[in-house]
Every structure is written in C-alpha cells, then in structure tokens.
Amino acid sequence: MALYSDKVMDHFQHPRNVGKMDDADGIGEVGNARCGDIMRMYIKVDHDTQTITDVKFNTFGCGSAIATSSIATEMIKGKPISEALKLTNKAVVEALDGLPAYKLHCSVLAEEAVKAAIKDYFDKNHIPYGDELAMDCEHCMACDSHHQ
C-alpha cells in the first residue's frame, strides 16, 4: 500500500516488543474500542536509575496504530523516564517517515500510552509528578478530540 511509508509497513509487519508483562512496573492503556484503537503499554523500570529497562505493547487498531506503538516502544526502551516523558507524537511520526494526515491521531495515542504507563509506575511508587504528564494539545493539532 502506497498509503504508508516503508518504515510504517516495516513496523506493522514486524512489530517490535509485542507482548505482555506479568511483572510490569507500570501499565498504561489508552483509546477505546468504540473509536477503533486501543493501546496497552507495559514498562519495567530500574528504580535506582529511573530507567525503562523493558517495554512491551498490545494494540487493537489499524496499521498506523500498530506501527506507532511499535516504534514508540523502541524509542523509550533503555531510556531514563525523564527522557521518555519528552516523547511527542510528532517525534513518533517523524521516526516513521510520516503518516497520512487522517492517521495522525494514532501517533497521539502512542504518546498517551507511554505517558499512561509512566503515570501508573509513579502512582504505584508514590512518586509525585506535575505537568509533564499532561497532553500538549496546543502544539499537537492531530485531532479534535479532548484528551484527559
């Protein structure tokens, strides 16, 4: 399909880090089956270095949804949480060599899934957090929907 870049097709056909984690330190699930995309991300965190040592994902959704989840896991694996928090949907789209305009919302979902997993880790470990987990809707412009 010329619809998707080679990178997107690669991540769609050979997704990285698919799976579940029984002993995850944080689990984030975003999206809803009504609109057709759901991403669940599991992270393992080294508490001392606050580094994400392992990531797994499960996604119900289209080619873009699967590709963006896959690449997002690659982009945060092995990184400190502080860096993973800076992951934007724009970075995800760029890493995939672009997405069709009407698929941009999938990349937003990937960013949200990462943030949700980290938030879950913070909550479980009583680590305080501030605005860094808020969605940057002003600069995103991927869709019209309101994010939590």
Partner 1 sequence: MIYLDNAATTAVSKTALDAMLPCLTEDYGNPSSLYTLGQRAAERLYDARQTFAKYLNAARPEEITFTSGGSEADNQAILSAAALGEKKGKKHVISTKFEHHAVLHTLQKLEKHGFEVTLLDIPPDGVITADEVRTALRPDTCLVTIMFANNEIGTIQPIPEIGKLCREAGVLFHTDAVQAAGHLPIDVQAMDIDMLSLSAHKFHGPKGVGVLYARRGVPLVNVIEGGAQERGKRAGTENTAGICGAAAAFREACENMEQNAAHMRPLRDKLIAELTKIPHSVLNGDPVRRLPGNVNLCFEGIEGESLLLLLDGKGIAASSGSACTSGSLDPSHVLLALGRPHEVAHGSLRLTLSEATTEEEVDYVLSVLPGIVEYLRDMSPVWDELERGIRKHQI
* Binding site residues, partner 1, CB under 8 A: 1, 9, 12-13, 15, 18, 20, 29, 33-40, 58-66, 102
Residue number with CB closer to partner 1 (2 or 148):
2
Within 10 angstroms of residue 69's Cβ, the number of other Cβ atoms is: 30
Beta strand 37-46 with 51-60 is antiparallel
Q: Tell me which of 106, 137, 140, 143 is the catalytic residue.
A: 106
Residue number with CB closer to partner 1 (19 or 78):
19
Judge whether 106 counts as a catalytic residue.
yes
Question: At closest approach, how far in Å is the CB of 25 from partner 1?
Answer: 18
Report the SS3 class of residue 28. strand
Judge whether 137 counts as a catalytic residue.
no
Question: At closest approach, how far in Å is the CB of 89 from partner 1?
Answer: 17
Residue number with CB closer to partner 1 (23 or 48):
23
The DSSP annotation for 83-135 comes to HHTT--HHHHHHHTT---GGGHHHHHHHHHHHHHHHHHHHHHTT----GGGS-
Say if CB 89 and CB 140 are below 8 A apart.
Answer: yes
What the block records as the tokens of 46 is 């080294």
Question: At closest approach, how far in Å is the CB of 73 from partner 1?
Answer: 12
Question: At closest approach, how far in Å is the CB of 80 from partner 1?
Answer: 26
Phi, psi of 62 (to 5 degrees): -80, 180
Catalytic residue numbers?
35, 106
